[in-house]
Chains A and B, each alone.
Chain A
């Protein structure tokens, strides 16, 4: 146990620099996936055949490709096509795109759960499609969407570790590097696990809060 505390003091500063990158990757890809997901979802429910088809197809393609392959593609293949990304950029872009499919399906479910009468009432006072979405449908859909959104945030935090495969020195990669140079696997990976858990706890509490609030209505 004493050895563990000694290791903690020694490795924590290095691991904390990994935590910073983990948070950057998570927040970056969360923002990107939320934006893209909303766009896909709105296209999907637009009622315009081309947009609906494009969005449905895209979501299936994204869902069918493992995140790690998507990351390899962005980081190793794109330079050959003339687009060079830093590891961090590729990680945020890859995770953002990968998760946009799940975000889109979640948003779509929320939008479609809104009573058709609401849309008719909005149309009946002269609102157009976009205004109906913005003023009537989306504000109500948010409540439905939030609990699963919180779960996606937690999954995203953990999946940010996949960025390690394309050299982003986030928490998991820092841990692996320390472990392979010191052989203190137990201390290092226990620390890494505890740090992920610590970051998840606020999110878990947030989900619980969302669920409670959604349950009230």
Chain B
């Protein structure tokens, strides 16, 4: 693919990238703190990752290799479009392999393969403010962050237990970063929360509509909030992936027919494909599917 001459490299003009980089640097310096930035109009609707795209555009260079996932998959519309966008406006190489990527932009998942030093994970964030559920006033939530008044976050978890007998928050599960700021990890499943803790990779979060950027630098403490008598737990699956037999990974339920037939498969498509390439087989993989075609 060739560069479109009328666009600057990576779509945004250099001054805008500079502004965003400054916000990113500040975010890295204050882990978990939401830094305001002058979010630009992007050629896509809000909710499709305008924040993530701007962060990626500000940090991407010609030698980077970009991977984009949506709910763990490389092949959904959102992922394909964003990958194509950067291939066009930055002429960068793209990949679906986690191991090969230098920048991974994601919506709602962290790859199963542990991230490495030097990799950057860019999250698309719809609502950056974890306290908003109970305190709608932005002036008040900012003050609460400033004064470290986080009792309200536990009120939310208390309500969960009171209603459901357990902490029923399964995604966007609040975390405390480096013992200071409470942060919304974006709508990733809580299954992925432990992966954020002490990750060697840099994690950047962009909320385009809300004009906020925040970050978790490499090797930063990320602790999921909980109660002493209701400790944080990740989801557990009773069966392995139907395609690659992986256990200890996050699975999506796929409906097969109108008669209640369903299967659980890896949400991380790259991880699943790699495992199958290595010869792992689930009980619904390969043969049956091919036979059905």
Q: Please determine whether chains A and B interact with each other in the same assembly.
A: no
Chain B residues packing against A (C-beta within 8 Å): none
Chain A residues packing against B (C-beta within 8 Å): none
